[in-house]
Amino acid sequence: MKAAVLGQPISHSLSPILHSAGYRAQELSHTYGRFEVDAAGLKQFVASLDSQWMGLSLTMPLKVAAFGVADVLTPLAEISGSINTLVFGEQIVGYNTDIYGIVQACAEVGLASAQSCTIIGSGATARSAIVAAKELGITHIELLARNSEAIRQCDAIATELGITLIAPAIAESQWHTSDLVINTTPANVAAELLPEVAAVSGLLLDVVYHPWPTSIASRWQLAGGAICPGYLMLLHQAVAQYELFTGIDAPVTEMRAALMEALAE
């Protein structure tokens, strides 16, 4: 059986290492590939697949384009407006395992619940972070973003979940007092937005995992804050995908070891 990760660019993805390590550990003959596919090409790619395919992992810019491919949406995919997993069967089902990845990553470093959160960015991962915040019990979110339409989409999700969301100017934000700060922007963007990090007490989850530590993570740690590395989110969302694709429990220990080895290299 086959699976793969799609996106553009995709050469940096560590998903093949994670999934392939799981297959080896459980002596499965499955294969997991990596393909450069843009949003316009997703439908054609999916249409070309045969019955040997279990599913697909999706990264940018395909998390929205996938809504044009999925036959059925899970509630989390629907409310977040983001699909990072397609599972093939009688129908193509769209899932969002990024939400699970965020919640489990936070739990692994000791944050099982919180009240306040600051999210940096407003794209697909930011929308997933809002839903994850709900699962962590968060009731108040500050969104640091510039795209007004994306901010409106995030606000609609928060409102549906019963979360108060505001999008203040950075100078007026209380991000340094948040229980949890989630950076969903590319490497170095957060460091430019928050050039001074001092006297923080909350947890920073930076979804960027390479290179690690990021500039913002290094500054955060020096200022006394706790860090949740993005590679933990990557691991846990992949564990959820693995189980959706194969129907069996993922060998988390072996997948984690393969990921840490790849990051060390």
Query: pLDDT per residue over 86-132, tens digit each?
Result: 999 999 999 999 999 999 999 999 999 999 999 999 999 999 999 99
- Kindly state whether residues 218 and 124 are assigned to the same domain: yes
Give residue 203's pLDDT band: very low, low, confident or very high (50, 70, 90): very high
Total structural domains within the chain = 2
Is residue 155 over pLDDT 90?
yes
- Kindly state whether residues 210 and 115 are assigned to the same domain: yes
Average pLDDT, the chain: 96
Res 102: pLDDT: 98
Which position has the higher pLDDT, 3 or 214?
3
- Kindly state whether residues 140 and 49 are assigned to the same domain: no
Mean pLDDT of 1-24: 97
Find the domain containing 14 and state its range: 2-96+232-264
Query: pLDDT per residue over 161-190, tens digit each?
Result: 999 999 999 889 999 899 999 999 987 787
- Kindly state whether residues 185 and 206 are assigned to the same domain: yes
- Kindly state whether residues 131 and 219 are assigned to the same domain: yes
Question: How far apart (Å, rounded) are the C-alpha atoms in residues 262 and 75?
Answer: 33
